[in-house]
Structure 1
Amino acid sequence: MADFGDLEQALGYLLPESFKQHYIRYNGGAPSDTQVPGDDAWEPTEVAMFYSIKHPLPGQDSTSEMLNHFQAMRAKRVIPDFFLPFAWDPGGNFFGLDLRDEGVAYYATDVFDPALSQAENYKKAQRHVARSFEHFLEILEPNPDASW
């Protein structure tokens, strides 16, 4: 659990228990059910892979793939400080935890509009997908288009 303490300290937020339990068991990787259902405004999306929390990373300041990605994206101001990417889709967009309320959002990184403010871009890029990490895992379903 020290890995979680290090990550929580760097984030300035405590992680939900369901999130910790998932990472204790899997520490990242590919889920068996990959599709996040769509809604009236968004097409279904797919989880390609979960970031690891503890994994040797050559040439990095941290052994946490998740923390390294969070810090890099935050430094570039691609994501707000309260958004922790924990997975990505095949196009490089993120699924992440809103550290303020523990909800899960899909974050499209390719919709940045230079005419909008940073806050407006953050809002435009996000799609709320689940009320919690546990709920996110529950709504994942098999992808009918998967070829494997």
Structure 2
Amino acid sequence: MTEIENSLKIKIPEQLKEFLLKHNGDMPENNTWFDPQGEYEYVTIHELTPIKYYKKFNNNKNYLMDTIAKDLWDRNLLAKNLLPFARDAGGNYFCIKINNGKIYYCTFDTWSDNLSVSDNQSKSTLFLCNSFNEFMSKLVCEDDL
């Protein structure tokens, strides 16, 4: 875990760090975010982002958390204070805000060439909840919807 934090020059919030060390990319049984306030439609986690090589992805480093984060940050698709930890089937990411542990859903299908990078990032970043543990506790099984 220290290698990733050093590589990204960040400190991963503890709740996410504990989960990653235990699961490294495994899928939770409950994998669908269903907004309790009904503000957003439900969205299903397609893949959790592994921190180290993972057989499911043929040990390809392009699927690892640090590689994905650097790529999204370098292309200005994500603010550098958001760390992607899961992806939906459409290539959008669930992210944790590094400094406070809040969870966001970042969509890329709303990107507009007519907006600045910061306006695009703001428009595409939806707040979900206050912590990783809260996020995990609110996931439901897709089959139950």
Fold shared by both chains (TM-score > 0.5)? yes
Question: Hey, what does 2:52 align to over in structure 1?
Answer: 54
Q: How does 1:101-140 map to 2 (within 5 A)?
A: 101-140=100-139
Give the counterpart letter for 1:105 in structure 2. Answer: Y
Q: How does 1:1-148 map to 2 (within 5 A)?
A: 4-38=1-35, 39-55=37-53, 57-58=59-60, 60=61, 65-144=64-143
CA distance in 1, matches of 2:39, 2:76: 25
- Contact 2:8-2:70 within 8 A present in 1 as well: no
CA shift for structure 1 position 145 = 6.3
Higher-RCO chain (CA-CA 8 Å, sequence separation at least 6): 2
C-alpha RMSD of matched pairs (Å): 1.9
Runs of 4+ in 1 over 4 A off after TM superposition: none
Task: Return 38-47 or 115-124, whichever deviates more.
Answer: 38-47
Structure-2-length-normalised TM-score? 0.87
CA distance in 1, matches of 2:108, 2:26: 21
Structure-1-length-normalised TM-score? 0.85
User: Is the partner of 2:99 in helix, strand or coil?
Assistant: coil
Unpaired stretches in structure 2, ≥5 consecutive residues: none
Give the counterpart letter for 1:50 in structure 2. Answer: L
CA shift for structure 1 position 104 = 0.8
| Cα displacement string for residues 121-142 of structure 1 (whole angstroms, at most 9, x for unaligned residues) | 1111011112111111111111
Unpaired stretches in structure 1, ≥5 consecutive residues: none
CA distance in 2, matches of 1:42, 1:52: 26
CA distance in 1, matches of 2:128, 2:102: 8
